[in-house]
Amino acid sequence: MTELPEYYFRIRENGAAVFRVSTENRQRRIEMDEIAVVNIRNGNVKPHGDHILSDEETTVIADWMEDRRAVLAERDIDDIHRAVDYLNLTTHWAQSRASDEDLEDVTDRLLLAMHDLRTVLVRKKADRIMAAAKTAEGDAAECCRAPSRHYRHDL
């Protein structure tokens, strides 16, 4: 039989409830004792009741939080890629199958959402371009700077 993990994380909207899993009893029943509640967004870890988290438990929770943030980040970018697909499918639907009533129902909301998205994307792109230009300027100024007179021993 497969060995059960020592800890179980019951996923919640902003994190998880953390349980210590045990089968060390006479009936070999699975016992789960809640030891903490974790908030992924703000990083808070609250021990459950009077429980004091051990160093091992703190490490396991920190590792889980790091892994969970990575999973959530992957899901976020996957959702964005899906949104691009949906926009393309919506374009095809509007062009080929939508009735006038369908278009009347969604056009204003779609136009506002797309305008909002475009405004944010353009601003963020401009910010990235400006930051890259400043970095390039700084690099160019650094490499073309005249040598300091403190190092001119040959004059």
| Per-residue confidence band for 152, with pLDDT thresholds at 50, 70 and 90 | low
| Per-residue confidence band for 155, with pLDDT thresholds at 50, 70 and 90 | very low
Please tell me whether residue 17 adopts helix, strand or coil conformation: strand
Instruction: Give CA–CA dist 96/112, Å, rounded.
Output: 22
Residue 125 φ then ψ, to 5°: -65, -45
Mean pLDDT, residues 121-137 = 93
Residue 23 has pLDDT above 90, yes or no: no
DSSP state of 2: P
Residue 1 has pLDDT above 90, yes or no: no
More confidently predicted of 137 and 66: 66
Q: What is the pLDDT of residues 45-91, one digit of tens each?
A: 999 999 999 999 999 999 999 999 999 999 999 999 999 999 999 99
Taking 3-state DSSP, the helix, strand and coil percentages for the chain, each rounded to the nearest 5, stand at: 60, 15, 25
Q: What is the pLDDT of residues 77-126, one digit of tens each?
A: 999 999 999 999 999 999 999 999 999 999 999 999 999 999 999 999 99
Contact 38, 65 (CB under 8 A): yes
In this prediction the pTM is: 0.68
Residue 150 has pLDDT above 70, yes or no: no
Please tell me whether residue 47 adopts helix, strand or coil conformation: strand
pLDDT attached to residue 139? 75
Question: Which residues sit opposite 34 in a β-bridge?
Answer: 19
